[in-house]
Amino acid sequence: MTTWLMPDEWVEKIDALETASVSVFSAIAKRELSSATPVSIKRGVATIEIKGTLVKKRSQMLDFFGVDQTAYEDISEQTKAAISKGAKKIVYQIDSPGGDANGILLGMDAIRNAGVPTEVIADGYLTSGAYMLASQADQIVAANELVTVGSIGVATSRYVSKSIKDITNTDSKNKRPDVSKEEGVSVVEGELDDIYQVLAERIAEGRKTSIEAVKRDYGQGAMMTARTALSRKVIDGISNNQPAQTKAATIIGVKAMNMDELKTEHPALYREVFALGQAAGRKEEKERVCAHLILADGSGDIETAHKAIKEGEAITELVKAQHMSAHMKRNMIQACQDDNPPEINTAGEVPVVGSFAKDKAEIEAACPGFEWEDV
- Final residue of a domain: which of 205, 232, 256? 256
Q: What is the pLDDT of residue 131?
A: 97
Is residue 197 domain-shared with residue 316, that is, in the same domain? no
| Residue 97: inside a domain | yes
Looking at residue 344, its pLDDT comes to 57
At 125, the amino acid letter reads Y
Asked whether residue 83 falls in the same domain as residue 193, the answer is yes
Question: In this structure, are residues 40 and 46 in contact, taking their beta carbons and an 8 Å threshold?
Answer: yes
Distance, CA of 306 to CA of 301 (rounded, Å): 9
A 10 A CB-CB count for 183 gives 11
Gap between the terminal Cα atoms of the chain? 97
Regarding whether 29 and 167 lie in a shared domain, the answer is: yes
Query: Does residue 292 fall inside a structural domain?
Result: yes
We report the CATH number of the domain holding residue 88 as 3.90.226.10
Is residue 155 situated within a structural domain?
yes
Count the helices and strands in the chain (H runs, E runs).
15, 11
- Domain assignment present for 136: yes
Final residue of a structural domain among 196, 229, 256? 256
- The predicted pLDDT at position 160 comes to 85
Residue 347 lies in a domain: no
Asked if residues 120 and 92 have their Cβ atoms less than 8 Å apart, the reply is yes
Instruction: Give how many domains the chain has, as a whole number.
Output: 2
**221/360 same-domain check:** no
Give the pLDDT confidence score for residue 122 in this predicted structure. 97
95 in Cβ contact with 127 (< 8 Å): no
CB burial of 116-126 (b: ≥16 within 10 Å; e: otherwise) equals bbbbbbbbbbb
Residue 165 within any structural domain of the chain = yes
How much is the pLDDT for 292? 65
Phi-psi label, residue 369: left if phi above 0, alpha if psi -120 to 50, beta otherwise: left
Q: Amino acid identity, residue 23?
A: S
How far apart, in whole angstroms, are the C-alpha atoms of residue 81 and residue 74?
10
Q: Do the beta carbons of residue 118 and residue 90 sit within 8 Å?
A: yes
Q: List alpha helices for the chain, DSSP H.
A: 8-18, 22-30, 60-64, 72-84, 104-112, 129-134, 182-207, 211-217, 226-231, 244-252, 259-265, 267-299, 302-310, 317-339, 355-366
**281 and 160: one domain?**
no
Q: Is the pTM of this model over 0.85?
A: no
Going from the first residue of the chain to its last (375 residues), give the mean pLDDT of each consecutive group of 10, the final group possibly shorter.
Answer: 57 57 51 70 94 89 81 95 94 95 95 97 96 97 96 89 88 92 94 95 96 95 96 93 46 55 71 70 72 68 76 76 70 62 56 59 64 55
Domain that holds residue 320: 269-341+353-366
Do 191 and 282 lie in one domain? The reply is no
